[in-house]
Amino acid sequence: MFHDDGSRVLDRPECLRLLAKAPVGRVVYTRHALPAVLPVNFSLDADRSVLLRTSAGSELVRAVDGVVVAFEADDFDAATRSGWSVVVTGRATVVTDPGEHERLSRTGPRSWVVTRDGVFVRIEAELVTGREIGGTRGTG
């Protein structure tokens, strides 16, 4: 049901369904005690965790391994003033199991950036929230 402001809270299954369609999202983490946001391509694993692929020596890996992060993806249409946003919050970990790394090399996301020493980062979907904005016409 849409609220008076034209928004609707999405349940977890709806959030994950929408998230699976998005090609790019943003990982939110702490860098030098300040919030940092980095756009990344990603995919969802079978357990619905968010998977990223990046360089083993990247600043992102050093900053997120073992800590709680947020991940956000969205899709909006400015012409109709409609869209959705989903946020996943959970612990990020670098995948270190060789068998799991091999599986993800076949099924996981392909980095848009060339990496020779690619690692996978898994963000557990501990908290999943979302909101949809229905095509409301504003006055200004």
In a domain, 28, yes or no: yes
Rg value, the chain, Cα: 16
In a domain, 1, yes or no: no
In a domain, 139, yes or no: no
Q: Are strands 127-133 and 118-123 parallel, antiparallel or unpaired?
A: unpaired
SS3 content of the chain, % helix, strand, coil (to 5): 20, 45, 35
Per-residue pLDDT reduced to its tens digit, 60-106 = 999 999 999 999 999 999 999 999 999 999 999 999 999 999 998 88
Task: Indicate if the pLDDT at residue 28 is higher than 50.
Answer: yes
Q: What is the pTM of this model?
A: 0.87
Q: Which two tokens stand for residue 27?
A: 């990982």
Domain CATH for 60: 2.30.110.10
Per-residue pLDDT band at 6 (split at 50, 70, 90): confident
User: Residue 139: phi, psi to the nearest 5?
Assistant: -100, -5
Show the domain range for 15.
Answer: 7-133
Q: Taking the alpha carbons of 132, 43, 121, 119 in that order, is the dihedral positive or negative?
A: negative
* Cα–Cα dist 3/91, whole Å: 32
- Total number of domains in the chain: 1
Given this model, what pLDDT does residue 62 score? 93
In a domain, 140, yes or no: no
